[in-house]
Amino acid sequence: MPYFNNNEDAYRLFSRDIISNADKKIDKLKKEIDENKSKNIARIESELHTRVFRGLELDLNDLNADFSANLSKVRNEYTRVLMTKRKELLDSIVAEARVKLDEYVKTEEYKLFIKNKVAVINEKFGSKNVEFRVKTNDKVAIEGIKKNFNGDYSIKEINEIEIGGFSAICFNMGVMLDETIDAKLKEKQLWFYEHSDLAAK
């Protein structure tokens, strides 16, 4: 696994991988939609032409109404299928990023990540008392805090953190810093949903 100087480098790499994979899947999805759309439009047009030549008694209003109904049905079906595929694709991309991050917290780079983040807490809170909240059984984070934090502290293990990192609360200052990888993933996920062509229009 490549060496990351900070979590922004890691997330930039993961974002690039995710967007690259998404572009391939988007192209495939667009091609499938275009092919299915052409087939369905041709079928609808064929049905309409058959009715015109077979049933001259039908007036133009009936034909327009029938065409509109069929076209609306096709549009609604495509919208439903597209939304389902969008959700599946976005979910698969986030799941893939989650797997990579689960691997990351087992590396030496994660130890350095914790050390660097604790240094930030030292700088921001000085020697004030700080409560650290870490993932349950995250020995790397706990050890990193014990070795590198200079002030008084307590460590609380919580289930809400599922990947890694920590949050730090200084009650005296009324400040909390969220340095969890979970929060960074959520932030990137929201950015991706907003900026990806997969976002619903």
Mean pLDDT of the chain, nearest integer: 82
d(CA 136, CA 63): 66
pTM to 2 decimal places? 0.57
Q: Given pLDDT bands bounded at 50, 70 and 90, which one contains residue 1?
A: very low
pLDDT tens, position by position, 59-91: 666 776 777 777 778 788 777 887 788 778 877
Tokens describing residue 76: 């609604």
pLDDT tens, position by position, 18-46: 777 767 777 787 787 778 778 877 777 77
DSSP lists the bridge partners of residue 166 as: 134, 179
Q: Residues 29-57, buried b or exposed e (16+ Cβ, 10 A)? A: beeeeeeeeeebeeebeeeeeeeeeeeee
Q: What is the dihedral of CA 187, 189, 191, 195, to 10 degrees?
A: 180
Evaluate whether 181 touches 163 at the Cβ level (below 8 Å): yes
**Which amino acid appears at position 88 of this protein?**
E
pLDDT at 55: 62
d(CA 188, CA 184): 6
d(CA 195, CA 64): 38
